[in-house]
A = this chain, B = another copy of it.
Amino acid sequence: MAVTNRDMANAVRALSMDAVEAAKSGHVGLPLGMADAATVLFRKFLKYDPTDPKWADRDRFVLSAGHGSMLIYSLLHLTGYKSVSRDDIRNFRQIGSNTPGHPENFVTDGVETTTGPLGQGIATAVGMAIAERHLNARFGDELVDHKTYVIAGDGCLMEGVSQEAITLAGHLQLNRLIVLFDDNHVTIDGSTDLSDNTDQCARFEASGWVTRKVDGHDEKDVTAALKWAQTQKKPVFLAVKTIIGFGAPKLAGTGKAHGGPYGADEIAGIRESLKWPHAPFEVPAAIEDAWKKAGERSKEARADWKKRLAASPKKGEFNAAIAGRLPKNLGKALVKHKKAVVDGGQSKATRQWSGDALEVITGLVPEMIGGSADLTGSNNTLTSHTPSLTPDNWGGRYIHYGVREHGMAAAMNGMSLHGGIIPYSGTFLVFADYSRPAIRLGALMGARVIHVMTHDSIGLGEDGPTHQPVEHVASLRAMPNMHVFRPADGVETAECWELALENAEGPATLALTRQGLKPARTTHTEENLCAKGGYVLSDCKGKAQAVIIATGSEVEIALAAQEQLAKDGVKTRVVSMPCMELFEAQDAKYQSDTLGGDTPKVAVEAGVRFGWDRWIGRDGGFVGMDSFGASGPYKDLYKHFGITAEAVAEAVKARV
Contacts and interface: CB of A to CB of B under 8 A. Distances in A.
A189 B441 contact: no
A contact residues, range = 35 or more
A464 B116 contact: yes
A245 interface: no
Nearest to A23: B462
A402 B158 contact: yes
A166 B167 CA distance: 15
A100 B631 contact: yes
Contacts of A154: 403
A479 interface: yes
Contact of A434 (B117, B164, B467): B117
B444 A628 contact: yes
A252 interface: no
A575 to B, nearest CB: 15
Interface string A433-452: 11011001101100000000
Nearest to A472: B478
A430 interface: yes
A140 interface: no
Given A171-B196, A480-B608, A101 B631 contact: yes
A247 interface: no
A374 interface: yes
A117 B160 contact: no
Contact of A159 (B164, B436, B464, B480): B164
Interface string A197-224: 1111011011110000000000000000
A326 interface: no
B158 A93 contact: no
Interface in A576-593: none
State the number of copies, please.
2
A284 interface: no
A391 to B, nearest CB: 9
Contact of A440 (B187, B433, B608, B625): B433
A356 interface: no
Given A197-B171, A462-B26, A464-B100, A188 B632 contact: no
A377 B188 CA distance: 9
A49 B503 CA distance: 59
B478 A100 contact: no
Contacts of A402: 158, 187, 192, 194-196
A470 interface: yes
Given A467-B101, A475-B475, A631-B95, A400 B194 contact: yes
A205 B202 CA distance: 8
B478 A608 contact: yes
Given A403-B158, A628-B444, A116 B466 contact: yes
Given A171-B197, A206-B203, A618-B617, A159 B475 contact: no
A471 B478 CA distance: 6
Given A167-B196, A195-B402, A406-B160, A25 B471 contact: no
Given A160-B163, A167-B198, A465 B444 contact: yes
Interface stretch (A301-309, A331-339, A633-641): A633-641
Given A195-B168, A614-B618, A374 B189 contact: yes
A618 B374 CA distance: 42
A505 interface: no
Contact of A404 (B115, B160, B376, B407): B160
A170 interface: yes
B404 A626 contact: no
Contact of A199 (B119, B171, B206, B436): B206
Interface string A517-561: 000000000000000000000000000000000000000000000
Interface string A65-84: 01000000000000000000
7 contacts: A95-B630, A101-B464, A202-B205, A444-B628, A481-B627, A614-B618, A617-B618
Interface of A: 23, 25-26, 66, 93-96, 100-102, 104, 114-119, 154-156, 158-164, 167-168, 170-171, 187-190, 192, 194-200, 202-203, 205-208, 372, 374-378, 388, 400-404, 406-407, 430-431, 433-434, 436-437, 440-441, 443-444, 461-467, 470-471, 474-475, 477-481, 608-611, 613-615, 617-618, 625-628, 630-633, 636-637, 640
Given A101-B631, A481-B628, 6 more contacts: A101-B464, A104-B631, A117-B431, A155-B374, A156-B403, A194-B388
